[in-house]
Amino acid sequence: MITPYPIGAIAVLNSLYDHSVPHYYYPTVIYGESSHGGKVVENTLYIEPVKLEEGHLITKLSVSRNVYAETSVGDEVCIVSRSGALGMSWYEVASVAGCKNSQKILL
């Protein structure tokens, strides 16, 4: 039962100390759905397939409530991919407007 905590700490450290150059991807949203499981709401965007530099193929994204609300079918979303401080690649998703604002900080 205690094993998930060190794994979570490694993931946080991997992203927190990551100073790698970000790669930006702008796939188009094909479909979106929001499912409610009690108090938990999962917002999912289905996108045109995009292959990240690390070779991961992504066709759907779990996104925040804000990104889901700001994005419609046919819009693009922004995926920011990084290699990770500990060599474990990771990515985050933002609306295109949110991504353009954050690029000023990331670059």
Predicted confidence (pLDDT) per residue in 16-68, tens digit: 888 888 889 999 999 999 988 777 889 999 999 999 887 889 999 999 999 99
Please report whether residue 7 resides in a domain.
no
Instruction: Using alpha carbons, list the distances in angstroms from residue 19 to 15, 16, 24, 80, 99.
Output: 9, 9, 15, 13, 17
Please report whether residue 8 resides in a domain.
no
92: containing domain:
17-105
Please report whether residue 95 resides in a domain.
yes
Please report whether residue 91 resides in a domain.
yes
pTM of the full predicted structure?
Answer: 0.79
Structural domains of the chain, count:
1
Name which of 27, 21, 12 is nearest 95 in CA terms.
Answer: 27
Please report whether residue 5 resides in a domain.
no
Is the separation of the CB atoms in 76 and 27 below 8 Å?
yes
Match 């150059």 to its residue by tokens. Answer: 21
Name which of 45, 105, 104, 30 is nearest 79 in CA terms.
Answer: 45
Please report whether residue 23 resides in a domain.
yes
